[in-house]
Amino acid sequence: MSKVLIVGAGGVGGVVAHKCAQNREVFTDILLASRTLSRCEKIQKEIEELQGRKIRITQVDADDVKQTVALLQKEKPALLINVALPYQDLPLMDACLAAGVPYLDTANYEPPDVAKFEYSWQWAYQERYQKAGLMALLGSGFDPGVTNVFCAYAQKHLFDEIHTVDILDCNGGSHGHPFATNFNPEINLREITQNGRYWEDGEWKETKPLEQHFPFDYPGVGERESYLLYHEELESLVKNIRGLKRIRFYMTFGQEYLTHLRVLGNIGMTRIDPVEFQGHKIVPIQFLKALLPDPSSLGATYTGKTSIGCLIEGVKNGKPRKVFIYNICDHAECWKEVRSQAISYTTGVPAVVGATMMLQGLWKKPGVFNMEQLDPDPFLDELAKRGLPWHVKEL
């Protein structure tokens, strides 16, 4: 019997609200809050049609801590699920502390004016959450999220020592637009246009953006060129996976996407600093976001599959071992079930599974946690039941 407050009514917020609505035993009262009420209304209507359940909605500006605290004090939810943008992580963590409500998110904090993401800002809340007896679960999406849990599962069951991890993220689907991003365009383009970074032999190594790449044969999709990026789960996995010698993250991109990205970068459209335009200051990447398709609108025409997993090498019982732990998700199936594409679906489902772990007391400790610090078994059981079956392929 739990009341949950979901903040953010975008592509991921919609999936989270639908999946909570499907699980009547755990989520007995669902409140969806976002900056723009009309987006909550649209999701509310779809949930009534598809899941046969009425959720409650309200407007909130999550940048305004006082406003969120007032909402939390009035509603007294058992958990706040933050699926707004990474910029809102710290104000929402502050509001949860002030109102005594546990917290969960899917992406780590980024300051709006610097394209830089790292856990330091959120890890700094450790003592305050411990003292308040509250739990904050960080990065409960797919990557970060499920990929961290795959590593924890490998550490617990499959290996005595893990030497290398390559996280491999493939979207083998097609949305029919010449150029679109699958989640918030501003956050997505900031991530891709940064220098690449990976960890090897105890130190971080840098590459130019998308400089290092190789082809990988993804189950359910086939061979795709995969490009090295820096991704936030590397930072926590380096700390929490014992004996690790190297960890990298790769994502696939088609040539059409890369050509658009190069042109947009060359002409300054991915800049995050304000420029003067007809007497106004505008941030080019925010203007670009306004022109690009809304990620939550892509689902209707999306075909194909995502295939995301962890390629892990190490030693078990004195012998070398190599496995790929992965999930395949079909865009069109996601549309039928919750009116979304697979990227939002593979993020939203783990957020709801993480919430279920916290609300059922299976994951319940005061403090700030990354996913791999908790027992992977109940999470992975629930994940498979809630729409994301996973597999281990011995290589």
Question: 135, 363 in Cβ contact below 8 A?
Answer: yes
- Listed ranges 82-90, 123-131, 198-206, 309-317: which one lies at the site for ligand NDP (CB under 6 A): 82-90
Q: Which helix (H) or strand (E) holds 344?
A: helix 342-359
- For the CB of residue 201, give the shortest distance to ligand NDP in the complex, in Å: 27
Residue in the structure block whose two tokens are 């501003």:
186
What is the rounded distance in angstroms from the CA atom of residue 64 to the CA atom of residue 98? 13
Does 145 engage in binding with ligand NDP (CB under 6 A)?
yes
- For the CB of residue 68, give the shortest distance to ligand NDP in the complex, in Å: 8
What is the rounded distance in angstroms from the CA atom of residue 29 to the CA atom of residue 341? 25
Does 184 engage in binding with ligand NDP (CB under 6 A)?
yes
Does 39 engage in binding with ligand NDP (CB under 6 A)?
yes
Does 144 engage in binding with ligand NDP (CB under 6 A)?
yes
Nearer to ligand NDP, 117 or 153 (CB): 117
Does 12 engage in binding with ligand NDP (CB under 6 A)?
yes
Query: Which residue in 234, 158, 227 sits closest to 391, CA to CA?
Result: 158
Does 103 engage in binding with ligand NDP (CB under 6 A)?
no
Q: Scanning residues 51 to 70, which ones bind ligand NDP (CB under 6 A)? A: 60-63
- Listed ranges 179-187, 277-285, 312-320, 354-362: which one lies at the site for ligand NDP (CB under 6 A): 179-187
What is the rounded distance in angstroms from the CA atom of residue 144 to the CA atom of residue 314? 22
Query: In 3-state terms, what secondary structure has residue 34?
Result: strand
- For the CB of residue 266, give the shortest distance to ligand NDP in the complex, in Å: 25
Of positions 129, 183, 250, 326, contacts ligand NDP by CB under 6 A: 183
Query: In 3-state terms, what secondary structure has residue 167?
Result: strand
- Listed ranges 42-50, 121-129, 143-151, 211-219: which one lies at the site for ligand NDP (CB under 6 A): 143-151
The count of residues in the chain is 395
| # of chain residues touching ligand NDP (CB under 6 A) | 35
Angstrom CA distances, 77 to 1, 4, 60, 69, 359, stand at 11, 5, 15, 11, 11
Nearer to ligand NDP, 36 or 73 (CB): 36
Of positions 88, 270, 307, 341, contacts ligand NDP by CB under 6 A: 88
- For the CB of residue 318, give the shortest distance to ligand NDP in the complex, in Å: 35
Q: Scanning residues 221 to 280, which ones bind ligand NDP (CB under 6 A)? A: none
What is the rounded distance in angstroms from the CA atom of residue 339 to the CA atom of residue 351? 17
- Measure the CA dihedral 224/230/234/239, to 10°: 150
**SS3 readout for 228-288:** EECCCHHHHHHHHCCCCCEEEEEEECCHHHHHHHHHHHHCCCCCCCCEEECCEEECHHHHH
- For the CB of residue 341, give the shortest distance to ligand NDP in the complex, in Å: 10
Query: Which residue in 144, 152, 9, 31 sits closest to 80, CA to CA?
Result: 31
DSSP class per residue in 98-113: HHT--EEESS----TT
Of positions 77, 102, 141, 354, contacts ligand NDP by CB under 6 A: 141
Of positions 30, 57, 72, 84, contacts ligand NDP by CB under 6 A: 84
Of positions 2, 22, 23, 34, contacts ligand NDP by CB under 6 A: 34
Nearer to ligand NDP, 145 or 196 (CB): 145
Binding site for ligand NDP (CB under 6 A): 7-13, 34-36, 39, 60-63, 83-86, 88, 106-107, 141-145, 183-184, 187, 295-296, 343-344, 347
